[in-house]
Amino acid sequence: MNTEKSHLPECFSGRLRALLSGDTNAPGSLGGYAQGNDPTRTWISLIVELNDKVDSVGKLQSVAEDSSQAAHDEAGRPVTLRDLWGGRLWDLTLRWDVLLNIVKSPYVANSLGEVASTVDIALPLVPQDVAGKPWATDLDAEERPKTRGELLVGVIDDGCPFAHWRFRGGSCRKTRVRAVWDQNDRPPVAVPNPNGERFGRVPFDYKAGLEFWRKDSDSGTTRIIGLDRWITQHTHAGTVDEDGCYADGGFTRRTDPRGGLTRMAGLYSHGSHVMDLAAGSPPPSSRISTNLAVPPSWAAASEEDPAGTAEVVFVQIPEAGVQDATGQWLQASIIPGIEYIVSCADPAVTRKVVVTISYGPTTGPHDGSSLLEKALRALCNKHNGQNGTVELHIVLPAGNSYLSQAHVEFKGNTGNKPVSWTWRVPPDNPVDSWAEVWVDSTQTTGVKVVLKDPAGNSGPLPQRGPGNEWSLRIPPTKAAAGHPQPAQHGNWTIEVSGVPQGATVHAYLARTDPNLGSRSGAKASRFVDSDWEQNHAARAAHSYANGAFDLSRSLVKTEGTLNGMATGWHPRIHVAGGYVLHRGRRKAPYSSIGQRRPRASVTRPSPDHALPTDETPALAGLPGAGTRGAATFRLVGTSTAAPQLARQLCRPALPNELPPRNPNLPPGHASSDLPAP
């Protein structure tokens, strides 16, 4: 290990410590976080939560300035500092070599440790300083156009079909999409006409990515074409050329230097489906039937379904986030994304803003105390519908990890005997595998977490972060640039000892299987309780209740698998699980549940509601829009439940709950079922 651990402040998260415990001169060892092997061209975002000390903000700014000076960069500032949430949560984006300077400098590291309560790592939102972008030299503070209706629907996802007929109004050339913010860093599109017009502009307040407004606007002396005119220019004989519309806008080709919404090259995207369920017309209830003998009605959106005619603001997540299934990028993208959506609403006219986010991590404390969860609650408190603010609602999916074998739970035993289980890591995995161990006790000085490779030798040292959390990292099991010596695949062992009697230990695996639209080749690892499989699995296979086998004696649990950013409670943060429509509304087999880490009043015990996510056991998923007008596909998962619940929340009142499926469901299941909107 090249990094002096004594220089690492206690506020550094276990994940950040684990990354810094390897070969610090080879950023390729960062797996999904690296953007190459050159330390001066590899960018990382640190999420910094400040403590309550006086002038913490000023001292953090001094740390950023000291780090910049230490880098001696002549091409531009190697450090950028961005306020994510009310001066409390900051995004410190810097190069890998600058991070090394912080780590190796006791003065700078201690200065950061004095003002921060937590420092975690996230994927970069801004790969280089905006001052180095020649297209971002004429930023002005022209006010963003505001919505004109009482309702605004926000979607943070991947792939926005703004030209799709399901999001166009009475005229085929007018879109209901009020604005799109593409968080990928790319230049605006130069329009081939003598007026020197452009398509897309850098947001003056975020200085990252590009935003596209519905109406034309001006940026300095340059005319910016809006979405409506862009669609009009690609309309021929009354038909929109969607292929040309997205291709000319730089939204399609992965090899296109303009970057952008690469998912729009194909016929489907995660964002097109989610956006359709949240605000498309016809509504989801018109596309499915509650009676298998009767076909869907295909009725258009009515006055009772305001989302079907509401304006939409779409935030495109960065490409690096799509490629990283762990969700570690969410902190740097979701918070500014929500603020951007709210900035498009006029509180004098718009009463309610409903934002759906169909992503989330499987790791984290799972007790409502993560940085992102605290920020989401703060945003809802800030935008509470009072004192000239809109009423913000945030809708999240429950998650799909119910059967992923990604959660271990046990209690400390008499005599503090070690407890161990298997971490099964697949071969040819090109990304890091991560796990976290959390201990619910204040007496953790004697707790020891050990990771052993399949041969029984000591593996990478687990790193302890602030609080009672240990992060474990297994490098890629596939050789590649930056890590030519792959880690061993097979059965690794995690051993925890010294746990106080009665204290509960939780372990969570980070999701690594690819997101829809990603071709990373990543594979999922899983936890295995070998003792349970040998001695109890056969008996448990004959005990099937409430759609699940009896796992009561296993260390591996299906409970407590709720989305890692959906475990905190707030009256305007809503979580949606899924059920199978034509199977007695039985819980969808993948839909995660809660109820394992209670922590006072901030912890969410279960999803708020369940909505249909599968029509039958054989007909999985729900139909939704692809990226082109004639394309439809089925998406499986609670990603389809969240936009349906968001659509229900757009109504003046939620519909009546459906009769209980089973009054004997164990804790952690959704408290009620709602019909498709």
Same domain (yes/no): 573, 644: yes
**DSSP track, 419-486:** EEEEEEE-SS--S-EEEEEEEE-S--TT-EEEEE-TTS-B-SPPEE-SSSEEEEEE--SS-BTTB-SP
Task: Give Cβ neighbours of residue 331 (< 8 Å, ≥ 6 apart).
Answer: 47, 84, 89, 120, 122, 371, 372, 375
Ranking 63-67, 118-122, 400-404 by mean pLDDT, the lowest is: 63-67
Position 353 pLDDT exceeds 80: yes
Query: What per-residue confidence (pLDDT) applies to 482?
Result: 61
172: which DSSP letter?
T
Query: Do the domain assignments include residue 205?
Result: no
Query: What per-residue confidence (pLDDT) applies to 316?
Result: 92
Same domain (yes/no): 188, 331: yes
Average pLDDT score over residue span 112-127 = 72
The per-residue pLDDT for range 428-452, each reduced to its tens digit, is 998 889 999 999 887 788 899 999 9
User: Which of 502, 518, 549 is where one domain is finished?
Assistant: 549
Phi, psi dihedral angles at 116 (to 5 degrees): -110, 140
Same domain (yes/no): 453, 333: no
The per-residue pLDDT for range 253-305, each reduced to its tens digit, is 544 443 444 668 888 899 999 999 999 988 999 999 888 888 998 888 888 89
**DSSP track, 73-118:** -SSS-SEEEEEEETTTEEEEEEEHHHHHHHHH-HHHHHHHHHHEEE
Of 417, 390, 361, nearest to 154 (Cα)?
390
Which comes out higher in pLDDT, residue 263 or 613? 613
Residue corresponding to tokens 């007909």: 619
The per-residue pLDDT for range 4-54, each reduced to its tens digit, is 455 678 888 888 888 777 644 444 444 444 444 455 556 777 888 888 877
Query: Do the domain assignments include residue 273?
Result: yes
Same domain (yes/no): 422, 530: yes
Query: What per-residue confidence (pLDDT) applies to 356?
Result: 98
Encoding tokens for residue 199? 């398509």
Query: Do the domain assignments include residue 515?
Result: yes
Which comes out higher in pLDDT, residue 133 or 131? 133
Position 670 pLDDT exceeds 70: yes
The per-residue pLDDT for range 158-202, each reduced to its tens digit, is 999 999 999 987 556 689 999 999 988 788 888 887 788 899 988
d(CA 518, CA 322): 6
Of 403, 334, 352, 339, nearest to 157 (Cα)?
334
Same domain (yes/no): 510, 571: no
Query: Do the domain assignments include residue 557?
Result: no
CATH code (residue 625): 3.40.50.200
H or E segment at 617? none
Other Cβ atoms less than 10 A from the Cβ of 595: the count is 16
Ranking 172-176, 469-473, 520-524, 551-555 by mean pLDDT, the lowest is: 172-176
Query: What per-residue confidence (pLDDT) applies to 552?
Result: 78
Same domain (yes/no): 545, 586: no
Average pLDDT score over residue span 634-651 = 96
Largest CA distance in the chain: 81
Phi-psi region of 290 (alpha: psi -120 to 50; beta: other; left: phi over 0): alpha
Query: What per-residue confidence (pLDDT) applies to 32?
Result: 40
Query: 352-357 and 490-497 as β-strands: parallel, antiparallel, unpaired?
Result: unpaired
Let me know how long the chain is: 677
Same domain (yes/no): 525, 483: yes
User: Which of 524, 549, 574 is where one domain is finished?
Assistant: 549
| pLDDT band for position 141 (cuts 50, 70, 90) | low
Tell me the average pLDDT of the chain.
83
Phi, psi dihedral angles at 486 (to 5 degrees): -70, 155
Residue corresponding to tokens 């990890």: 401
Average pLDDT score over residue span 636-658 = 93
Phi, psi dihedral angles at 644 (to 5 degrees): -65, -45
- Alpha-carbon distance values, 210 to 179, 188, 252, 343, 345 (Å): 11, 7, 15, 15, 19
Query: Do the domain assignments include residue 167?
Result: no
Ranking 61-70, 191-200, 619-628, 651-660 by mean pLDDT, the lowest is: 61-70
Query: What per-residue confidence (pLDDT) applies to 161?
Result: 94
Which comes out higher in pLDDT, residue 305 or 129? 305
User: Which of 549, 574, 594 is where one domain is finished?
Assistant: 549
Ranking 79-83, 167-171, 359-363, 572-576 by mean pLDDT, the lowest is: 167-171
CATH code (residue 522): 2.60.120.380
Query: Do the domain assignments include residue 224?
Result: no
Query: Do the domain assignments include residue 235?
Result: no
d(CA 308, CA 316): 21
Same domain (yes/no): 540, 637: no
Q: How far apart are the first and last CA of the chain?
A: 55
**DSSP track, 15-42:** HHHHHHTS-TT-GGGGGGG-S-S-TTT-
Query: What per-residue confidence (pLDDT) applies to 3?
Result: 43
Paired with 440 in beta bridges are 504
Q: Where in the sequence is the domain holding 460, given as residue range(s)?
A: 407-549
Same domain (yes/no): 425, 384: no
Q: How far is CA 451 from the centre of its chain?
A: 28
Query: Do the domain assignments include residue 239?
Result: no
| pLDDT band for position 135 (cuts 50, 70, 90) | very low
The per-residue pLDDT for range 242-256, each reduced to its tens digit, is 999 998 988 875 444
Which comes out higher in pLDDT, residue 609 or 67? 609
Same domain (yes/no): 395, 421: no
- Alpha-carbon distance values, 653 to 252, 283, 555 (Å): 39, 17, 42
Q: Are 477 and 453 within 8 A, CB to CB?
A: no
| pLDDT band for position 602 (cuts 50, 70, 90) | low
Amino acid at 143: E
Total structural domains within the chain: 3
Of 564, 262, 250, 586, nearest to 436 (Cα)?
564
Which comes out higher in pLDDT, residue 645 or 293? 645
Encoding tokens for residue 622? 């729900």
3-state secondary structure of 392: strand
Same domain (yes/no): 395, 416: no
State yes or no: cis peptide before 295, omega within 30 of 0.
no
Same domain (yes/no): 513, 586: no
Query: What per-residue confidence (pLDDT) applies to 140?
Result: 54
CATH code (residue 52): 3.30.70
